[in-house]
Chains A and B, each alone.
Chain A
Amino acid sequence: MYKVRLWAVKHSRGMERLYNATNPLVLGLLKGVDKLFGRKLDRPITAIEAGLKGLLFDCKMCGDCALSKTGMSCPMNCPKTIRNGPCGGVRENGMCEVKPEMRCVWVAAWDGASRMKHGDAIKQVNFALDHRRRGTSSWLKLVREDSDAAA
């Protein structure tokens, strides 16, 4: 929802705290689930992630979540799906050139990042998406990357 999304960016510092506090727990839990059930529970886990992040951030399930690096503003809501914005077409009032009724996702992102403790991550280049990941869970990706790295 657009209004909730704007609220999340406005409270990016709080969202960052919440993320930092809950992330180890969620990943730990998912690691256990992954060990016990393998890929059997991927669909419900993905659905929970989609529901929760959809509600808060209008998440599009790109499969490579960048929220912590984009001021809690999901870049996939940009009509051009730019991952290193903003583009040059932002309106004088900060609204999107393609959707004049929507605040530019990247104006929101830099604004949100300015309030975050690790907001400087937005300054790093974020390379283009792997389109095979679309619709898959970023949480499970993190869990499995961790265990791959440990293996």
Chain B
Amino acid sequence: MLRPEELGLNPGDPLPILPGHFSHGRFERVLRAGHFAITTEIAPPDSADPDEVFRRAHLFNGHVDAINATDGSGAHCHMSSLAVCAILTRVGYSPIIQISCRDRNRIAIQGDVLGAAALGVCNVLALSGDDVSVGDHPEAKPVFDFDSVSLLQTMRTLRDESRFLSGRKLDLPPQLFMGASINPFAPLHSARVDQFAKKVAAGAQFVQSQYCFDIDMAREFMARSRDRGLTESCFVLMGVGVLASAKTAKWLRSAIPGVHIPDAIIRRLEQAEKPRAEGRRIAIELMQQLAEIDGISGVHLMAFKQEEFVGEIVHASGVLGGRKPWLPASPLVPAASNPQS
């Protein structure tokens, strides 16, 4: 068990980098200490109000080890991931900045990575990103100067070689814990482990997956990943979704390409008296089953519009085994109510 002093006393301060670690962050410490980790997603507000970010993060206090701030997810416009993360680091949260290749070229991205590190953000998730055509600004110009693999390689160059891609030297490199996404549940299944291996080769130290609703598929993917030795150099956090109803599940399955939900899950929701509670039970069971699979280091809980249940789900699953993740003690954190209202 990590002692409080190992997690940093003043929550806003960067932690000293431990031997064999790459970042100042708590998230990397939890994983490298061998704990089963929980991450979740914060939906960035459609607002310029920083307190709204704190209000949304407040729901996760003491339940998760890191919070992903999405970067224009579904190609919809929201507060930027960089800003959400920077606000969260003020009081000591451990955010994961998501960087999508859709909206920025290599000049902007390298600048943002340095800026994020300077603001205390040390976990990054490299994503190719959804196409602009699925978002609320389909007329926008898609950038895609990089894909996620080139982005990982670029961040590793910044961190390990202390230089821009151009060769120009950095005075201080960003100390990053680098992640990527995987989707073991989409075609081409035979290539998914190879794709994972490419991301590890490009520098991924942790991966978070798309929703896992098919435990057999997850087991098979992990067996092949273990055979390739991938889980020795990369932490795998499987994605777990909280479904509100059979209707939501069917919508997700048909409207979001790459989301695989077996019919058995949909039947369970259809037959349940209280579908929302059943959706949470499914998430809890999946978390327990995933925690049993060799090579899985944690889960990434995606509870869009059900964020208030994250704590309940995490603790009912028992996957933390009594460990309590960090929560802010600073008076800077506003109460859940809006002082202006």
Contact = CB atoms under 8 A, between A and B. Distances in A.
Most chain A CB within a 10 A radius of its CB, from B129, B131, B190, B202: B131
Interface residues of B, number: 37
B241 to A, nearest CB: 14
B296 to A, nearest CB: 18
Contacts of B130: 89
B145 A123 contact: no
A98 B188 contact: no
Contacts, number: 101
B153 A80 contact: no
Secondary structure dominating the interface of A: loop
Contacts of B197: 123
Contacts of A123: 194, 197-198
Contact of B131 (A84, A85, A91, A97): A97
A23 interface: no
Secondary structure dominating the interface of B: loop
Nearest to B199: A84
B191 A110 contact: yes
Interface stretch (B111-119, B179-187, B244-252, B309-317): B179-187
A89 B187 contact: no
Interface in B133-150: 133-134, 142, 144-150
Interface in A88-134: 88-94, 97-98, 104, 106-107, 110-111, 114, 122-128, 131
A83 interface: yes
A104 B187 contact: yes
B195 interface: yes
A87 interface: yes
B210 interface: yes
10 contacts: A80-B102, A83-B149, A87-B147, A88-B181, A88-B183, A88-B186, A88-B210, A89-B258, A97-B131, A128-B145
